[in-house]
Amino acid sequence: MFYAVASMAMRWVMSVLTQLQVVGIERVPREGPLILISNHLHFVDPPLIGGVMPRKVIFMAKEEAFRTPILGWVVSAYEAFPVRRGEPDRKAIRKAISVLQSGKALGIFPEGTRSKTGQLTPAHPGAALVAARTGAPILPVALVGTDQFLGWPSILQRRTVQVRIGEPFAFRSEAGGLSRERLVELTDQMMAAIAALLPPERRGTYGDSLETDQPSTPALSPRERGSSASQEAG
């Protein structure tokens, strides 16, 4: 109940205080496991994504957020789960895989923290590891403008905030150990999918990857988005 009410409220607030634009909502698989990946600019990003998505998204959130009195209660009520940043967190990885195996949508910000410049920064390999372990569909999402949602001047101007949704794709499920090089490769492919949705000046670390030949990640057909997804992660 809290998730539904909070998500609806966030969408309403952002629609009133900004010129909210959602592009590509028809690309979101309505059922089955899904890994939603996005850039991260502002603390409103998770509830905003939850508010515009046609299905519930369970987010992986930094452990520190759960130790903050009010914020900790909010993220827990929002059904997020903690991850330790800067080190391998096997418990968080197991939880992420469990979310997908139950046919739900998992939300991850691969950069691990908010960007201070508005540009993409180097990502952590956790999202790629989960994607490779499960073979679950990956949905790239790009946020534009939430970093300008600061203070009364910005609110009074009703600046444009965009949620840009790309085509879902998937990696082939890989059992066994994954080398560091392989995880870097998969991570770069995931971040390139987000970068492709962003304005060139926002692509940061991953801007050059769009100008060179990269291994392609096959997009999923509408049928695959809804049916075979659950089979791959299950």
What is the structure's pLDDT at 4? 87
The 10s digit of each residue's pLDDT in 114-168 is 999 999 999 999 999 999 999 999 999 999 999 987 666 666 788 899 999 999 9
Residue the block writes with tokens 């569909």: 137
pLDDT band at 69 (very low <50, low <70, confident <90, very high): confident
- What is the structure's pLDDT at 220? 53
Q: How confident is the model at residue 213 (pLDDT cuts 50, 70, 90)?
A: very low
pLDDT of residue 229: 39
- Using the 8-state DSSP alphabet, how is residue 167 labeled? -
Distance (Å) of CA 226 to CA 34, 35, 46, 220 = 10, 14, 24, 10
Instruction: Give tens-digit pLDDT for 35-66.
Output: 999 999 998 999 999 999 999 999 999 888 88
Assess whether pLDDT exceeds 90 at residue 78.
no
**Integer Cα distance of 9 and 4 in angstroms:** 9
Tokens matching residue 112: 């691990």
> Is residue 122 a contact partner of residue 208, using CB atoms and an 8 Å limit?
no
Alpha helices in 18-144 (DSSP H): 45-52, 69-77, 90-101, 126-134
Provide the Cα torsion 223, 225, 226, 232; round to 10°.
110
Domains of the chain with bracketed CATH? 2-233 (3.40.1130)
